[in-house]
Amino acid sequence: MNWFGFGFNGFGQIRANEKLADGESALDANVTYPISIDIVCRNLEEEPVQICQHNSSVDTQIRTSWSRRAALHSNSDGRLCLAGFGVGTPSQRGCGGCVEESRGCQDAHISEGYLALSFTDRVECWNSERNEKKPGWSMAIPDNNGPSLAFPLVPGGYIASKPPFYHPLSPQLLAVSLALGTEHAVLLTASGDIYTWGSGSHGQLGHGDLNPQEEPRAMEALMGMPMSTVAAGGWHSVCTSAGGDLYVWGWNESGQVGLPSRALRGEQQKSQGTGGASTCKDQESSDDVFISIQAFPALVDVTQSCEVSKISCGSRHTAAVTSTGDLYTWGWGSGSSCPRLGLHSCTHCCCSGGTCSGTDCWRVSRGK
């Protein structure tokens, strides 16, 4: 399986041999189109340096944050390999180094502050900004007699991206998947219902208001329509139905929800005024209605010819993979190009597609 990356690369988290030099700006480190990521591990702790090639039979999962990339290899070791900020001097083509303490790891979650590792019998949380010899927090995992859980879910609750790490959940929810935003959470149950809680300041909970919720609350607007996947951005949320429909809600300041955005219109006009070509699909109504906050879930047609099968969110952008293997990205691109979106010609994009043209995409991960 091949992985592709694009976006901000100031710490070598995408292309490991390109870090910012003195006098270079962040724009100099942008990867503005998808490039193949070589999953080659380097152990920086051993001399001589050992390079570990992983063959095609090994499934590799990618986890990302704004400045770091983690590659989890599902071989007999089950080790996690890091690239990006604080990892050290990387090799020209590989990641920065394997985390020896991750041997036997089943899954992982990486953020700017912490690295959470899930094992069969425990969860460990490491401070990403410290050179620790042991985890700052750990918890034993009891046997799971319920449905299969996807990390950060654990039996009885879930693991947050910052302290306090463990939060309990009612077993009556029958949770199977959980997505964590900056200040909110989106949970998918075994029956296909969605629950949200946390801050609602940008409509990211989808209950039609901006009120916070301390406990999981069912999204009434989607009741009766079984959902299959969920994702959470900084302040927006996304889900797909069992039939492949895409629903979005929350903050739309940069068009990340896929609805008309004032910032998007401004960038389109700026691009057209300077003679630059724009690939952004014009979804604005004739009376220029802009949507800053979408507090109810809205159905967005990424493409009419196929279903959406995979979704992922960055802080202010969204990515979706269709059943035909096409990748679509929209939202905040930053600067004079679209590094986060994998496009060349516009700063904010709304449902622009085909960023991995000629390549069938079936899994997607995102940074900030």
SS in 3 state form for the chain? CCEEEEEECCECCCCCCCECCCCCCHHHHEEEEEEEECCEEEECCCCCCEEEECCCCCCEEEEECCCEEEEEECCCCCCEEEEECCCCCCCCCCCCEEEHHHCCCCEEEECCCEEEEECCCEEEEEECCCCCCCCCEEEECCCCCCCCCCCCEECCEEECCCCCCEEECCHHHCEEEEEECCCEEEEEECCCCEEEEECCCCCCCCCCCCCCEEEEEECHHHCCCCEEEEEECCCEEEEEECCCCEEEEEECCCCCCCCCCHHHHHHHHHHHHCCCCCCCCCCCCCCCCCCCEEEEEEEECCCCCCCEEEEEECCCEEEEEECCCCEEEEEECCCCCECCCCECCCCEEEEEECCCCCCCCCCCCCCC
pLDDT at residue 18 in the model: 53
Q: How many CA atoms lie within 13 A of 55 on its CB side?
A: 2
Q: What percent of the chain has pLDDT over 70?
A: 71
pLDDT at residue 143 in the model: 81
Buried residues in 84-102 as b, exposed as e (16+ CB within 10 A): bbebeebbeebbbbbbebb
Query: What is the pTM (predicted TM-score) of this model?
Result: 0.81
- pLDDT tens, residue by residue, 3-57: 888 888 888 888 765 555 565 555 557 888 888 886 655 444 444 334 444 445 5
Instruction: Assess whether pLDDT exceeds 70 at residue 94.
Output: no
Instruction: Assess whether pLDDT exceeds 80 at residue 287.
Output: no
- pLDDT tens, residue by residue, 159-208: 999 999 999 999 999 999 999 999 999 999 999 999 999 999 999 999 99
Greatest mean pLDDT among 9-18, 254-263, 284-293, 336-345 lies in 254-263
Residue 318 near residue 311, CB atoms below 8 Å = yes
Spell out the residues 6+ positions from residue 62 whose beta carbon is closer than 8 angstroms to its own: 3, 37, 69, 70, 71, 72, 365
pLDDT at residue 320 in the model: 95
Nearest to 184 by CA among 163, 208, 164, 201: 201
pLDDT at residue 28 in the model: 59
Instruction: Assess whether pLDDT exceeds 50 at residue 89.
Output: no
C-alpha–C-alpha distance, residues 184 and 172, integer Å: 20
Query: Looking at this protein, which amino acid is placed at residue 271?
Result: S
According to DSSP, the residues that pair with 70 across neighbouring strands are: 63, 82
C-alpha–C-alpha distance, residues 333 and 7, integer Å: 8
pLDDT at residue 365 in the model: 52
Mean pLDDT value of segment 65-91: 77
87 band by pLDDT with thresholds 50, 70 and 90: confident
C-alpha–C-alpha distance, residues 80 and 78, integer Å: 7
pLDDT at residue 92 in the model: 37
Tokens for 184?
A: 């909110």
pLDDT at residue 355 in the model: 36
Instruction: Assess whether pLDDT exceeds 70 at residue 216.
Output: yes
Mean pLDDT value of segment 317-344: 73
Buried residues in 287-296 as b, exposed as e (16+ CB within 10 A): eeeebebbbe
- Asked whether the CA dihedral 159, 162, 166, 168 is positive or negative, the reply is negative
Nearest to 105 by CA among 60, 69, 137: 60
C-alpha–C-alpha distance, residues 30 and 228, integer Å: 33
Least confidently predicted of 200-204, 272-276, 295-299: 272-276
Instruction: Assess whether pLDDT exceeds 50 at residue 130.
Output: yes
pLDDT at residue 100 in the model: 83
Tell me what the pLDDT averaged over the chain comes to.
79
pLDDT at residue 229 in the model: 97
Q: In whole angstroms, what separates CA 130 from the centre of its chain?
A: 24
According to DSSP, the residues that pair with 250 across neighbouring strands are: 236, 294
Distance between terminal CA atoms of the chain?
A: 23
Spell out the residues 6+ positions from residue 46 whose beta carbon is closer than 8 angstroms to its own: none
pLDDT at residue 142 in the model: 85
